[in-house]
């Protein structure tokens, strides 16, 4: 019985070093310095991936900061291309939209109103006339009578000439002119709103 215990002790002594070196499964021993290198490489790679992911996210979060995304109605707003305007001074109705922020990040068009545009030839130079499509009487939308070649408010029958001057009706002044400019073949308009039912143009 004593002899058997001595044999077991000898076996344990032989198995101990092998277990520490190779894991007891016959595999080769792993260098501690190699394990350290692999651990550091894994951490570094994770940091790089995290940084690559974070840059677009940070840019998205802080995109509105320092950027002027809301365009004031006082600034020129592009409304049409010159070649889109009919020849011969025939009016064209176009919408006026300004950039507006939605949910602090997304940008969409915010409607401001509409204008009537006319392309005019002034001594070989192209000019564009813009008239607010808002009736100066009570704010209805002014239409165009193709047969009579004049502007007409369908609400209260105010009539205006092609240059916007009042011809008849309850309106106390003519249609409101707006400043235009042609840049690179595009028409820009400084859109403004005026008080209704007063003889003088009072911007609001």
Each domain of the chain, given as residue ranges in start order, spans 2-61, 77-190
**CB-based contacts of 189: which residues, under 8 Å, 6+ apart?**
76, 77, 79, 96, 115, 130, 178, 179, 180
* 12-16, 24-28, 42-46, 121-125, range with greatest mean pLDDT: 121-125
Burial 180-199 (b: 16+ CB within 10 A, else e): beeeeeebbbbbbebebeee
What CATH number does the domain located at 77-190 have? 2.102.10.10
Q: Can you give the pLDDT at residue 122?
A: 84
pLDDT (mean) for 171-192: 96
8 A C-beta contact, residue 198 and residue 172: yes
Taking alpha carbons only, the member of 199, 194, 140, 138 closest to residue 172 is 199
| pTM reported for the whole predicted model | 0.63
Q: What are phi and psi of 50, to 5 degrees?
A: -65, -40
Q: Which of 17-21, 91-95, 113-117, 178-182 has the lowest mean pLDDT?
A: 17-21
Distance CA 120, CA 143 (A): 20
pLDDT (tens digit, 9 = 90+) per residue, 35-68? 665 666 665 565 555 544 444 444 444 444 444 4
């Amino acid at each position: 019985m004593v002899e058997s215990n001595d044999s077991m002790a000898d076996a344990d002594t032989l198995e101990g070093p092998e277990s520490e070196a190779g894991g007891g499964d016959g595999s080769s021993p792993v260098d501690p310095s190699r394990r350290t290198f692999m651990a550091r490489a894994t951490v570094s790679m994770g940091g790089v991936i995290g940084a690559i992911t974070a840059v677009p996210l940070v840019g998205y979060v802080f995109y509105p900061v320092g950027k002027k995304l809301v365009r004031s109605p006082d600034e020129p707003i592009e409304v049409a291309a010159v070649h889109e305007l009919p020849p011969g001074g025939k009016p064209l109705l176009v919408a006026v939209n300004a950039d507006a922020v939605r949910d602090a990040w997304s940008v969409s068009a915010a409607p401001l109103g509409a204008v009537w545009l006319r392309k005019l030839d002034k001594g070989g130079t192209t000019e564009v006339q813009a008239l607010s499509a808002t009736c100066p009487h009570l704010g209805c939308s002014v239409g165009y009578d193709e047969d009579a070649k004049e502007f007409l408010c369908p609400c209260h029958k105010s009539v205006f000439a092609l240059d916007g001057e009042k011809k008849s009706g309850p309106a106390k002044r003519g249609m409101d002119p707006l400043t235009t400019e042609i840049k690179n073949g595009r028409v820009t308009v400084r859109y403004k709103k005026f008080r209704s039912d007063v003889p003088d143009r009072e911007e609001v």
